[in-house]
Structure 1
Amino acid sequence: MTQRGTAAEPDGGPAATAVDWAFFTFSGIGAAWFAVLLLEESLQQRHIWFLVVFWAALAYLVLPRLDRVLTQIFIPNYFMGRTRTNAGLFGDAVNLAFLGSEAQLRGALEKAGWHLADPVTLASSWRIVSSTLLHRSYDHAPVSPLLLFDRQQDFAYEQEMHGNPRQRHHARFWRCPEGWMLPGGIAADWLGAASFDRAVGLSLFTLQVTHRVGENIDAERDYLIDSIRDSSPEVSVEVIKNFSTGYHSRNGGGDSIVTDGDLPVADLGNLPETGPAVPAGAAAARRERPPAPVIFGTVLVLLRGFAALAVAAPFLVHVTDVSLVINLLGTQSRGLAELGSAYAPTSVSLTVFAGVETVLAVLILRGSNFARVTAMSLSSIAIAVQIAAVSAGPDAALRTNLFGYAFDVLLILALSSDGARIYARSRPRRRRPPDPAPSAGAAGPPR
């Protein structure tokens, strides 16, 4: 029973897959080269602050993309009783299973004193950071996304410790695909992964700031089940012994985890439907919403178009003073500004380019795969040109092209991500309406 086979992503064919992988790999290589340039610059004393930028590029651009490429190649994508991180690494172990509806599961958790985690947004991310630093309570703090069945958790619940989200019990939950069964033919409606956040630190594999997980995940599994049974005695639990071989391993952040491999299956069928009401079509609406990488990539495409228009606009209105453009975009725009001043067609071309970028941004946001590939192609060409110009030396390249190079790398990283790819290739396409049925007595088509 494959994990990927349950996803709703359409098959774009071998050619589409090859194109996606080419951009995915190219952006990883580009990000790695960017990190090398930053490291070389940071070794110069006058640019020692570049070490912070180098760490950010390494932790949030290079290592996650490298991990994603390697895990895609070497780790088979069938159900192993483990979740995955966005970088493709093994995440928390699946150590819970439930029979029942979403309302029954959420009702049982809330009755047991668990709190629904907020979705990850800019506001919730800032609040958990400030709450952690200032030791303030945040009962509904967000949890990082983990993947099972090729999708993020449907929801997560938590209980914070000592009035601070730095330490908390938490569990993520995924609805099982229709007709899917656990190995051995055992039915389950929901799977869960429970663990305990013991502190905040750096991930061993990506160097990102993250929660560090406690080693004894069996204690968290048993704690959650006991809390539900204490508040809802009618819940019955059967334990699948040795569901997964007891192992000593690590999660996606590099934390050691230990388990006996048992999997409790809690039957919630006798509970009332008391969980929070789920609006009709809410899940479909979430799927239709552009994911964060698509929104980020769209903003970058718009900014690229705006930059082109900002350079061209003064000359379109016969402004010949290049100082305005230089003050607006920096000294690195002097050459382009002087070119636009000397040749009117260049300014017109830049204006057309800005219009094309605006159209691409709108189409990307609406889920156009063609627009996504086109935008990544333009950035790839720009990166190739900058790499070819590096003959002047890394220092010159950094002084003149660092911002533009980083901009194009970020754009390809965003639009080549799994979230952007799946969103673009799963959007419904307009289809030709069926031919009208022949009228009564009319001759049917030849067979």
Structure 2
Amino acid sequence: MARRTIPTVPLPEFVPKPEVDRALDWVFFVFGGVAAVWLAYLLLRESFTLGWWQIAFAVVYWVLLAYLVLPRLHRILTRIYVPDYFIGRARTSDGLLGDPINLALLGDETQIHEAMNRAGWTLADDLSLQTGVTIVKSTVLRRSYNEAPVSPLMLFGRKQDFAYQQEVNGTPGKRHHVRFWRCPPGWMLPGGHRAEWLAAGTYDKSVGFSLFTLQVTHKIDEHTDDERDHIVETVRGANPAASVSVIKDFSTGYHSRNGGGDSIMTDGDLPILNLRALPTPPGALGEVPTDSREKRPAPIIVGSLLMVFGALSTAIIAAAVAAAWPELLKTLDVDGDDGEWVLWFVFAFLALVALAELFLAWQVFLGSNWARVVALSANAIGLALQVVSLESGGPAITIDTSLIPVALDILLLLALSSHSATTYARSQRKTPKRIAARPGGVAAY
């Protein structure tokens, strides 16, 4: 397994967004939520006309509801009522309160990997389309997948830096797992306690449906303290140089639910696992730490592909105009060269629109925020015109007419207005200054 290197520079910081930009992001985000609800209504109404296709359509509707509509609604509502500061809980990508933060660590990243490897833990793969398909297959077929990915949870505005797990009984349906987040430079726990990493450890006992979003997910055991203690015991048992101290009653003991609706309970104690005395493997210094917000998120990729699809559709229409040129001239109620000019104008306009869409798609893919805003604005205007046309007695939106194009427009709106797409497009990095590491290899922030 490739080892991760010790950071020698602080994490890049994000320049705060102006209030106008924040407001514009929020408008697009809420508009996307409203559009998703509208699409759910259109699909539900259309399902009554499909006869035997209703069963297959129900699956499509569940996917829309569970993975697009409900997450967006939760994200809108949780922005209002869930605190946006550290309260000892991670958050789901939908904004719901997730698993409890039940472990703090001192030490560099390489020491954590060394300690977890010695303790018999396996580094989890990053979640992607390929690994997602693999974990579904392994769960259904009950096949071992030691490196199965874990779902993202958010802390400090970003998903976990990495995760470790221990598979149980050779199936990814049951496993010990723990997520790790690097703390921001200079950050301290409430009460002034020093921590360089925070972690959330829970035990997956089965696979089921989320209570709040209806998504397929792992269900965790409610006794999260048992998992916390299991992590500490396995690491200390395999690493004699590791030590632990406990902040008693760091939080009030509580019973609650996580973002999947699973019950959780904890006594509120927070162990601090000190790994600084562990030997550092040679040759591990020198690389800049990565930040998950620097990676191109899936919504940016999906949005770019949808824009390319739209450009190709426009180009096909332009090609159809060119192919049917003589027939179109006959149908135009104009004479002579006027008909030619009209067709040339239509063809040129469609060609320019297709080229503009391709250019915008490429800029969005590269992370250009202005291109994202232009694409969102054009998309929102187009959807608003669809609603106005419908309410004015225009043609109904059905699966035989414009339902699919409308659905693709709403998918584009949801993708480019998502939190990860917005963060990626609007992030501006300050150039970090490389500074010397402390004795023992821990970067001095």
* TM-score bracket for this pair, using the shorter chain length: 0.7 to 0.9
Which segment is superposed worse, 393-402 or 261-270? 393-402
* Counterpart in the other structure of 1:434: none
Point out where structure 2 has 5 or more consecutive residues left out of the alignment. 1-10, 329-338, 432-445
* Counterpart in the other structure of 2:410: 409
Q: Deviations over 1:377-408 (max 9, x none)?
A: 11112211221232458964443111111111
1:249 aligns with 2:249: no
Tell me if structure 1 keeps the 8 A contact 2:92–2:98.
yes
Taking the aligned partners of 1:315 and 1:341, their CA distance within structure 2 comes to 13
Taking the aligned partners of 1:212 and 1:341, their CA distance within structure 2 comes to 64
Matches within 5 A, 1:253-272: 253-272=260-279
From 32, 40, 48, the equivalent of 1:27 is 32
CA spacing shift, 1:279–1:200, aligned 2, 3 Å: farther
CA spacing shift, 1:386–1:55, aligned 2, 3 Å: same
Q: Deviations over 1:225-281 (max 9, x none)?
A: 000011112211111111111111000000000111111001111111249958723
1:228 aligns with 2:235: yes
**TM-score w.r.t. length of structure 1:** 0.86
* Counterpart in the other structure of 1:425: 426
1:300 aligns with 2:306: yes
Deviation at 1:95, TM superposition (A): 0.1
Amino acid at match of 1:110: N
Matches within 5 A, 1:20-59: 20-44=25-49, 46=51, 47-48=53-54, 49-59=56-66
1:283 aligns with 2:284: no
Q: Deviations over 1:263-302 (max 9, x none)?
A: 1001111111249958723616x65431111111111111
Deviation at 1:21, TM superposition (A): 0.5
Report the secondary structure of 2:370's partner residue: helix
Tell me if structure 1 keeps the 8 A contact 2:13–2:429.
no
1:171 aligns with 2:178: yes
* Counterpart in the other structure of 1:194: 201
* Counterpart in the other structure of 1:442: none
Tell me if structure 2 keeps the 8 A contact 1:216–1:257.
yes
Taking the aligned partners of 1:221 and 1:428, their CA distance within structure 2 comes to 35
Tell me if structure 1 keeps the 8 A contact 2:397–2:403.
no
**TM-score w.r.t. length of structure 2:** 0.87
CA spacing shift, 1:424–1:313, aligned 2, 3 Å: same
Taking the aligned partners of 2:116 and 2:355, their CA distance within structure 1 comes to 51
Point out where structure 1 has 5 or more consecutive residues left out of the alignment. 1-5, 323-338, 431-447
Taking the aligned partners of 1:198 and 1:261, their CA distance within structure 2 comes to 22
Deviation at 1:41, TM superposition (A): 2.2
**Could you say what the CA RMSD is over the residues aligned between the two structures, in angstroms?**
2.4
Aligned residue pair count: 408
Tell me if structure 1 keeps the 8 A contact 2:106–2:195.
yes
Amino acid at match of 2:23: A
CA spacing shift, 1:374–1:278, aligned 2, 3 Å: farther
Q: Deviations over 1:152-198 (max 9, x none)?
A: 10000000111110110000000111110000000001100000111
Deviation at 1:54, TM superposition (A): 1.5
CA spacing shift, 1:279–1:129, aligned 2, 3 Å: farther
Q: Deviations over 1:59-87 (max 9, x none)?
A: 11111010001111112211100000010
Deviation at 1:422, TM superposition (A): 1.0
Higher relative contact order (CA 8 A, sep 6+): 2
1:81 aligns with 2:88: yes
Tell me if structure 2 keeps the 8 A contact 1:170–1:194.
yes
1:123 aligns with 2:122: no
CA spacing shift, 1:210–1:264, aligned 2, 3 Å: same
1:218 aligns with 2:225: yes
Taking the aligned partners of 1:61 and 1:396, their CA distance within structure 2 comes to 20
1:313 aligns with 2:314: no
Report the secondary structure of 2:165's partner residue: strand
Deviation at 1:342, TM superposition (A): 7.4
CA spacing shift, 1:131–1:241, aligned 2, 3 Å: same
Amino acid at match of 2:186: G
Tell me if structure 1 keeps the 8 A contact 2:98–2:258.
yes
Tell me if structure 1 keeps the 8 A contact 2:103–2:199.
yes
Taking the aligned partners of 2:22 and 2:61, their CA distance within structure 1 comes to 31
CA spacing shift, 1:349–1:340, aligned 2, 3 Å: farther
Q: Deviations over 1:70-124 (max 9, x none)?
A: 1111122111000000100001100000111111111100100000000011111
Deviation at 1:43, TM superposition (A): 3.5
* Counterpart in the other structure of 1:329: none
Which segment is superposed worse, 67-76 or 43-52? 43-52
1:18 aligns with 2:19: no
Taking the aligned partners of 2:327 and 2:284, their CA distance within structure 1 comes to 62
Deviation at 1:7, TM superposition (A): 8.6
Matches within 5 A, 1:126-165: 126-165=133-172
Which segment is superposed worse, 273-282 or 100-109? 273-282
Tell me if structure 2 keeps the 8 A contact 1:7–1:150.
no
Tell me if structure 2 keeps the 8 A contact 1:312–1:340.
no
Deviation at 1:148, TM superposition (A): 0.3
Matches within 5 A, 1:4-15: 8-15=13-20
Amino acid at match of 1:401: S
Amino acid at match of 1:168: R
CA spacing shift, 1:45–1:375, aligned 2, 3 Å: closer
Amino acid at match of 2:416: L
